[in-house]
Amino acid sequence: MPWTLQDLLSEATQIAGSPPGLPTSRLSQLANQAIRDVAVRLPHLEFETVAAGSTTTTSATATLPDDCEQLISLSFDTSVSGVGGRVIRQASPWELDAKSDGTEQGVPRMYLSYSTWIEFYPSPDSAYSLLLRYKRRVSDITSLTARSSLDTRYDQAVLYKLVEHLHLRKGEYDKVAQARALYEQELKSVPNLYALRQQNRAGMGLRYQSKED
């Protein structure tokens, strides 16, 4: 069963105790830090996702999803007449800015991911359906009944990292080392998504012997 933030705090404080005077809000911050600590150790593949979007004829830009940390690719959701393939080419800022015909309208041939939006060139002349593939950002838990955006198989690693943070805050450095060792061991024992996909690709094989050796 997935752990909520309340479950995580209860388990961690039972193991390590909580420093005197540490409020629930501060414990929650440490729990979110533990989640981020685990997230940075995981492969890019764990956070890949896709979202649908569209262009408008009134703007040469579109807003990125709120949880987008890095845009991987942008493509048309359906084939578009006169376009070679569905993928829209990513341009550099200076390439886009160097275009003298910046007011041109048409089917976007390139895009620029900048700040929290996407810029298209040419400016869309119609509402084109888009597919955005991107790496999502790990979100903080803000409610005691909510759970981590990491996969549930990493709950135990998050717990050990939170226990480590609690021991560190209390200056229990020998216990910090113990919790860190458990954390590292747990991370190594849990197959990440890349490893799981490799297992799926490998599948199972059968050797057929047609004659005796």
pLDDT in tens, the chain (213 residues): 679 999 999 999 999 998 888 899 999 999 999 999 999 999 888 899 999 999 999 899 999 999 999 999 999 987 776 666 789 999 988 888 887 565 688 999 899 998 999 999 999 999 999 999 999 999 999 999 999 999 999 999 999 999 999 999 999 999 999 999 999 999 999 987 666 666 555 454 444 444 554
Q: Spell out the alpha helix ranges (H) of the chain.
A: 5-16, 24-39, 93-97, 155-169, 173-189, 193-202
> Which residues constitute the domain of residue 76?
45-136
In this prediction, residue 149 carries a pLDDT of 92
Q: Is residue 115 part of a domain?
A: yes
Q: Is residue 17 part of a domain?
A: yes
Q: Is residue 21 part of a domain?
A: yes
**Same-domain pairing of 85 and 162:** no
Q: How far apart are CA 83 and CA 19, in angstroms?
A: 61
If one counts every other C-beta atom within 10 angstroms of the C-beta of residue 7, the result is 16
How many domains does the chain fold into? 2
Token digits for 105? Answer: 């309208």
Q: Is residue 209 part of a domain?
A: no
Q: Is residue 211 part of a domain?
A: no
**Same-domain pairing of 90 and 104:** yes
**Same-domain pairing of 56 and 126:** yes
**Same-domain pairing of 101 and 176:** no
Q: How far apart are CA 195 and CA 201, in angstroms?
A: 10
Nearest Cα neighbor of 176 from 154, 156, 155, 161 is: 161
**Same-domain pairing of 38 and 85:** no
Q: How far apart are CA 28 and CA 49, in angstroms?
A: 26
How many helices (DSSP H) and strands (DSSP E) are in the chain? 6, 9
Q: Is residue 202 part of a domain?
A: no
For residue 181, the SS3 value is helix
Q: Is residue 203 part of a domain?
A: no
Task: Decide: residue 20, CB within 10 A, 0-12 exposed, 13-18 middle, 19+ buried.
Answer: exposed
Token digits for 178? Answer: 């113990």
